[in-house]
Structure 1
C-alpha cells in the first residue's frame, strides 16, 4: 500500500479534511477520499478523524492509498487501428468517443477491453483495470496512444514521460483568432474546488507546460498544433481556455455557444518515443478524423 504525507498550510487551515486530501491528486474524488477516511486510511497527527474534521495549521496528514479494487476486465473483439506492434510496445489510434480504460460502473466498451482481446500480454504495473496503459487521452479526444506489453516496457515509457522526452503533438481547433504565431503556456493545474470534475489553473497545482503553433486562421476560429511538455489531466483544454481561446465543441471548458461536435475538436496526431528495448526513436502520425477534416473544409469555404 502506497503512503504519502502532507503538512497543512495556512491556506488549507480551517478546511475540511476530505476537501484538502481530494485536492492533493487530481485522480482522487472527494467521495473516494471520504471512504478512505472512514476506513482509517487518512490519519491526522497519527489519529483517525471524521470526514468533517477541520484542519489546523501544521497538522501532519498520513495518507495510505489502497490498492485498486480487483475487477475482471472482459476482452471484447474490436476493430482497433494498430499503427505499430512488437513484443514490447503497441501504438493504437483511439477513436473519438471511446474511453481508454474501465472504471467501476463502466466496465465495457473501452480501449482496454479491445486490447485485452487483441493481445493477452499487457504490462500489469497499473493493475487490473489499466493493463498496459502508460498515458491517456480523454474520451472525446482522438489519436495515438502507446501501450506497454510488459513491465520492462512500461517502466521505460513512464520514465521517458517523466523525463519529458516523449513527443506528443495535438491538433486543436479553438475559438477566436490567435494573433501570435506561437507561444508557451506555463500554468500549474489542479482540481477546481467549485467543480470536482473539472481542472483549472491554481497556484499550488501541478507543473504544466503546453507549447502551441498556429497552423491556420479562420474568421472566428484558429487551428493550432499543441505540443505537451507535461501531461496533466485536460491540460490542453484548460490551458487554451486560460489564455482565452477555448477548444471548439468542448462541453466542459468551451463557451456556452460552441460547435455541436459531440466533444472537443482535439486530435493526438503525432507520438514519438525511444523503443524500450532497442532505444531506437520511433515516431508515428495519424491524420485528423473525418469529422475534423469536414469541419475545417467548411470553415475554409466560409472564410
Structure 2
C-alpha cells in the first residue's frame, strides 16, 4: 500500500521525522526497510535519514502483510456500519464473540471479517481487530485494514483519545443525573473470567449520564475513559447497581432480555487518512429497545 504526504515545512528534517509526525512507528519503519517496502521522495528511493528541506512529496510503500492461517474463515454475515480503504466498522450482535478462544468455535466476528475479506477479493486478509466487546455485549467493533491503520488506533487508545459511548440499563435508581465511577479493577481471585474492584487493580474511570428512570431500573449513557475488561459491568455492580441481565455480576433478570443490558452505540476517533474526525453510531438492538420501554 502507498501513503503520500507533502512536506509543507521549510525547516530541514529527516524523512523519518516527517513520517513519525504522521503516525508511522519505529516498528512499521523496520517492516518497510527489511520486508519489501520503500520510502520515496519525489519518486526517488531514499533512506529514512534522508534530509528534507521543504516542498517534497514523500511516499511510504508498505510491504504485503502475511495472513494468519490459524484464523478460520466464516461465511456468516456481518453488519457493516462504515468501510473505506483503512477501516471497517461492524455492528456486532449479542452472542457473538469478538475473537476465537479455546471454548469458542470459528464463527466469531474476526472469522466472519476474514470471510468477508476473502469474499470481496481483498489482497490483504489480515484481520486487525482494534476494539473488542464481550460476547453478550452488542454494538460497535472497529477493525483496521492494515498494519499502519492499526498502529494509528493503538496510539489513540493509549492516549485515551478515542471516544466510546455505551447505553446500559442498570438495576435500581441512580439519583445523580451525572456521575463518575473511579475505582481500580483487577482479576477476581476465584475466577479467570471475572473482574472486581481491588486496591491493587489498574486505574479505571467510567462516566455516566442518566437518560431515563424507570420503576426499578435506570437507563444510562456511559463513556469509558479507560478500557478495562468488563469495566462498565464491574463499576456499576460495585456501586450496587449491576446491569440488568448480568448474571456474572449479580444483575437481576428481566423477561425482555437474556444477556447483560449493554450496547456500544457510538465510536469517535481521528482518521488521519481522510483528515477528519470519524463518528459512527449503532442502532439500539430489539431486546434493549424492549427493555427500556417496559
User: Is the structural similarity TM-score above 0.5?
Assistant: yes
Determine which structure has more spread, i.e. the larger CA radius of gyration. Answer: 2
Q: Deviations over 1:24-59 (max 9, x none)?
A: xxxxxxxxxxxxxxxxxxxxxxxxxxxxxxxxxxxx
Structure 1 residue ranges, 4+ long, deviating more than 6 angstroms after superposition:
none
**Matches of 2:147 and 2:226, distance apart in 1:** 22
**Matches of 2:70 and 2:195, distance apart in 1:** 30
Deviation of 1:171 (Å): 0.3
Residue 252 of structure 1 is aligned with which of 242, 248, 252? 248
Does 1:231 pair with 2:227?
Answer: yes
Stretches of structure 1 that go unaligned for 5 or more consecutive residues are 1-69, 125-130, 299-303
Structure 2 partner of 1:273: 269
Residue pairs, 1:22-171, within 5 angstroms: 72-120=70-118, 131-171=127-167
Q: Deviations over 1:68-124 (max 9, x none)?
A: xx7622211122110111111111000011000112342411001110011156685
Q: Give yes or no for contact 1:88–1:276 (8 Å, CA) kept in 2.
A: no
**Matches of 1:254 and 1:170, distance apart in 2:** 20
**Matches of 2:258 and 2:117, distance apart in 1:** 30
RMSD (CA atoms): 1.6
Paired residue secondary structure (1:146): strand
Does 1:262 pair with 2:258?
Answer: yes
**Matches of 2:172 and 2:195, distance apart in 1:** 22
What TM-score do the two structures reach when normalised by structure 2?
A: 0.72
Stretches of structure 2 that go unaligned for 5 or more consecutive residues are 1-67
**Matches of 1:144 and 1:203, distance apart in 2:** 31
**Matches of 2:141 and 2:125, distance apart in 1:** 15
Deviation of 1:278 (Å): 2.9
What TM-score do the two structures reach when normalised by structure 1?
A: 0.70
Residue 243 of structure 1 is aligned with which of 226, 239, 246? 239
**Matches of 2:217 and 2:117, distance apart in 1:** 41
Deviation of 1:195 (Å): 2.3
Deviation of 1:194 (Å): 2.3
Residue 284 of structure 1 is aligned with which of 276, 280, 284? 280
